[in-house]
Amino acid sequence: MIGRGDANQQNSAAVKGLSWVSILRLGLVQASLGAIVVLTNSTLNRVMIVELALAAVIPGLLVGLHYGVQISRPFWGHRSDIGNSRTQWILGGLALLAISGTAAAATTFLFEINFAAGLLAAVLAYALIGVGIGASGTSLLTLIATKTAPERRASAATITWMLMIAGIVVTSIVTGINLEPYSHLRLVTVTALTGVVVLVLSAIAVAGIERKPTMVGETGREKPGSFRESVREVWSDPEARLLTVFIFLSMLAYSTQDLILEPFAGLLFGMSPGETTKLSGTQHGGIFAGMALVGIAGWLFSKRKPGLMKMFIVTGCVGSGMALTGLAVSASFAPAWPLEINIFVLGFMNGAFAVAAIGTMMILAGAGKKANEGMRMGVWGAAQAISFGLGGLAGTIALTLGRWATAQDSTAFAIVFSMEAVLFLMSAAIALRIGGGQVAQPRLPVHREPSAVPAE
């Protein structure tokens, strides 16, 4: 017989949601995704350009393809909504990502023999990479959102993304060591072993998580309908619609700078490749610091200050816009400008708004009338993927057109940075209208026996 004190203790544990250890475990799955993606987006990109002497546009289009395919994220999110387990989509998508990443590495052999055959195989492999990321990543974020208490979601987003970045860094170092001396066979072997290791690690990390109580309040909520009905329901929600537009604009501004910052430092400030690489490290240091600030503040204050995430989003967007305005101005004063400080501030503001936006996505995922958290995360993930795919391309095209029209590097860079600043200010204006910072207390979830969840 269970006494009242025991019942209260169990009820309190249910409301608490995922423990920090469980959140860290799911963060390891996100790190696993990053570990495979960095091999295809970075290492294989360099091999195609340098070792295979392919035009740089080819790996660029292939990377753009895998982002484009992620427009399917709403479909995978909906499948996880109507299925019995998100875990199977997380691990299934990760397995597909590991296999297709290895296949992409193996196309290096085909490119050596026949360019057309290699390109066809690479297109297929990168398309499947996009499918794997979409299926696994969407279901993972949805699982985190539904199992984590609202006041912990900002910190959960921080932990997840920082572990992803850590996974990218560790993979880059370890694979870099093991790829020497380079050969195509060694690249395929390293990619395949990485896939096996991260898949096993993720299977262990995610085991049993789905049995935890759901924190978005299933009581009284309708089950999701068909795919079309679910899309209509999400898009009819003003909050979800505003957040989708915000994610697209802000992430477009965020990603547009990726391919032009180092050339900017090299052309206008006379920095060497080594110095611009260090500058990129300075930016990522700022991103880490911004993410950490939001995570710590969310942990300490989000329960008492429900509007905290909106404040960080708006402040981060406005701060990013100001930092980019500083870079636009610096084009006229280079090299007499504190570029490192400017870049660190840009990274800091980028990190703060990005992780706060992800935390807001997790909070609003369960705000619908129906239990369609996966569809919501899928719609927002698709908006982010499209903007990432367009961002790098848009930045390089705008810079090229600016240099052609003005015949001055400084003016061209200033125009592009100013355009990005405007995008961030527009994003801040939209974020002010999002009410996601006002977090309603979730209804107490109905406790289920662990055996009720299959595929664990």
Half-sphere exposure of 91 (CA within 13 A, CB side): 19
Q: Model confidence over 401-410: pLDDT tens digits?
A: 888 999 888 9
Q: Model confidence over 159-217: pLDDT tens digits?
A: 898 888 888 888 888 888 888 888 999 999 999 999 999 999 999 999 989 888 877 65
Does any domain span residue 242?
A: yes
Residues 298 and 177 in one domain: no
Residue with tokens 């701060």, as numbered in its chain = 319
Does any domain span residue 436?
A: yes
Residues 340 and 196 in one domain: no
**Domain interval for residue 145:** 18-206
- pLDDT range class, residue 439, cuts 50, 70, 90: very low
Structure tokens at 292: 């950490």
The fraction of the chain above a pLDDT of 70, given in percent, is: 91
Distance CA 341, CA 338 (A): 6
Inform me whether the pLDDT recorded for 306 exceeds 50: yes
Residues 243 and 329 in one domain: yes
Residues 175 and 240 in one domain: no
Say what the pLDDT of residue 216 is: 63
CATH code, domain carrying 124: 1.20.1250.20
Angstrom CA distances, 258 to 134, 253, 284, 298, 390, stand at: 22, 10, 11, 28, 11
Residues 148 and 240 in one domain: no
Does any domain span residue 4?
A: no
Q: Model confidence over 7-66: pLDDT tens digits?
A: 444 444 444 788 889 999 999 999 999 899 888 887 888 888 888 888 877 888 898 899
Say what the pLDDT of residue 9 is: 42
Say what the pLDDT of residue 14 is: 45
| Better-scored residue on pLDDT, 368 or 355 | 355
Residues 195 and 294 in one domain: no
Preceding omega of 181 cis (within 30 degrees of 0): yes
Does any domain span residue 221?
A: no
Residues 125 and 235 in one domain: no
Say what the pLDDT of residue 444 is: 39
Distance CA 96, CA 135 (A): 9
Q: Is 449 left (phi over 0), alpha (psi -120 to 50) or beta?
A: beta
Residues 317 and 353 in one domain: yes
Residues 53 and 89 in one domain: yes
Domain total in the chain: 2
Domain boundary among 206, 239, 270: 206
Does any domain span residue 451?
A: no
Q: Considering the chain, what is the average pLDDT of its residues?
A: 85
Residues 198 and 286 in one domain: no
Residues 199 and 246 in one domain: no
pTM, two decimals, is 0.81
Q: Model confidence over 218-270: pLDDT tens digits?
A: 555 677 778 888 888 888 888 889 999 999 999 999 988 877 888 888 889 98
Residues 263 and 313 in one domain: yes
